[in-house]
A = this chain, B = another copy of it.
Amino acid sequence: MNRTDAQNLAAGLLGGTLSQEEFIAQVTRPRSADLGETTLDLDRRRRCGFPEVVFGQGKTVAALEKIFQRLLNENMAVLTTRVDAEKAASLREMFPQGVYNATARTFRIDLDDPAALPAKVGRVVVVTAGTSDLPVAEEARETLDWMGVSTAMLHDVGVAGPHRLVEKLDVFHQADAAVVAAGMEGALPSVVGGHLPCPVIAVPTSVGYGASFGGLAALLGMLNSCAANVVVVNIDAGFKAGYVAGLIAHRRAT
């Protein structure tokens, strides 16, 4: 609690605008919901700008149901990642308004009132080095869409055919950030970064074989990028790349 908050509380209590019970409630108010094996963060939107995004992997359908219900009760739009097709089918029965993207493996429930959705802001370009990086790029795109950010997609422009990127540089015009997903040697973010004045969020993917070691080669390559504007997220973390790109786009719009 910072000084301003404390002063306000004391003043309210003494001034009578805050009853003792209200004072206690405010100071001790739970900012999370206890759902058994889950402690939902109800305060996330206040602190971080967006509600908690649900990590679907390793959670049962029953656990997800409880979480979704509570988020919707709090008037928060639901975004869940890493949901397999079987779970998605069950969730669709419970939440018919939910939308499953089978490529991205995301499950979303937008709020009933479309008017409540924020207008699309900014511009993020999502790039893939190869066709097989598509699922990661789609996860980023879904996240950006959920955050209300405009996106443009640019696919399969890896460095083995270097002109493919150069031919399409116009797509980056006025971009707030670029998300670049690449497996194998993961060289594309460096090349993209060498052309742009905005941050590049590099996502190593597990596409490859042998000494790609499940995306480790791409990860190390991206961390060692000689381009100064490249930052990195976890292997296959399309969500996280999209999320940070979305934050950048939102900050610019404010």
Binding site for B on A (CB under 8 A): 1-3, 6-7, 9-10, 13-14, 20, 23-24, 27-28, 30-32, 36-41, 43-44, 47-50, 52-53, 55, 57-59, 63, 82, 128-132, 134, 155-164, 167, 169-170, 176, 184-187, 190-191, 193-199, 201, 204, 206-237, 239-241, 243-244, 247-248, 251-252, 254
**Residue among A190, A213, A218, A243 having the largest count of chain B Cβ atoms under 10 Å:** A190
**Residue among A3, A128, A230 having the largest count of chain B Cβ atoms under 10 Å:** A230
> In whole Å, how far is A31's beta carbon from the nearest beta carbon of chain B?
5
Contact A229 B244 (CB under 8 A): yes
17 CB-based A-B contacts, threshold 8 Å: A1-B1, A30-B167, A39-B161, A40-B156, A47-B194, A47-B195, A57-B209, A159-B191, A197-B247, A210-B237, A211-B215, A211-B234, A217-B217, A223-B232, A224-B234, A230-B240, A252-B252
Q: Top 3 nearest A-B pairs by Cβ distance?
A: A210-B235, A58-B132, A187-B187
Chain B residues with CB below 8 A from A176, complex form = 251
Nearest chain B residue, comparing its CB with the CB of A158: B226
Chain B residues with CB below 8 A from A220, complex form = 185, 211-213, 216-217, 220-221
